[in-house]
Amino acid sequence: MTISRRSLIIGISAVGCAVRSTAAVDLLRPTPQETFGPFFPVHTPQYHDFDMTRIPGRAGHASGQVIDLSGRVLRTDGSIVKGARMEIWQANAAGRYEHPIDKNPAPLDPNFDGVALLQSSNDGRYRILTVKPGAYPYSGGGMRTPHIHFDVMSDDYRLVAQMYFPGEALNEKDALISTMRARSRDRARIVESRASFSLRASPGKYICATRR
């Protein structure tokens, strides 16, 4: 089963999602910066491929529920950011990162390295084929809800973010989502689930938005 890209929340750690209407919009809401987290990739792949469900040279495919995720990189005025360099990383379907400091006892997936390198197209679009990441325990004693990390870079700006999935039981207790108010984030902006979303960046800078 493939998760519809229209049902995803694309968040940037503390993930603000703002609905972008079909009417004219003066400014899109910027996505706040977030930390890289402890599992930022140590080794990036030598290949550039949107398909994270396989590793070149191996016959197998990643375990888990396949999701087809696409979006756009935009400035808050709605203009396109083409050629944005993107690094996307995540845990596998069991909740384990391909990272030397991840001590989660969940199994690694030999057909999933959990990292993709790509650039936004001339119209600001990107796409990845991956698997839905699993939840995992963190050092504070709780569980992180399923999420995907984004590091988006242009010549004059860098945005680090996370994408969350609506309807997850762990969302309400997640260490980042549940502390948004204390960290001056608008909690209401990540629970929208309409046809299109925009992710906040810094004022006047860039956002990521799902395809309309």
Look up the CATH number of the domain holding residue 167: 2.60.130.10
Cβ proximity of 27 and 83 under 8 Å: no
Q: Closest by alpha carbon to 28, among 37, 36, 38, 16? A: 16
How many domains is the chain partitioned into structurally?
Answer: 1
Confidence of residue 112 (pLDDT cuts 50, 70, 90): very high
In the predicted structure, residue 65 carries a pLDDT above the cut 90: yes
When mean pLDDT is compared across 35-39, 86-90, 100-104, the lowest value belongs to 35-39
Percent of the chain with pLDDT over 90: 37
- The pair of three-digit structure tokens given for residue 20, joined into one six-digit string: 């972008």
When mean pLDDT is compared across 134-138, 140-144, 190-194, the lowest value belongs to 190-194
Active site amino acids: 97, 136, 144, 147, 149
**Residue 13, pLDDT score:** 31
Confidence of residue 16 (pLDDT cuts 50, 70, 90): very low
C-alpha pair distances (Å), 27 with each of 30, 121, 145, 159: 9, 22, 30, 18
**pTM as predicted:** 0.77
The more confidently predicted of residues 105 and 20 is 105
Q: What range defines the domain where residue 135 resides? A: 1-212
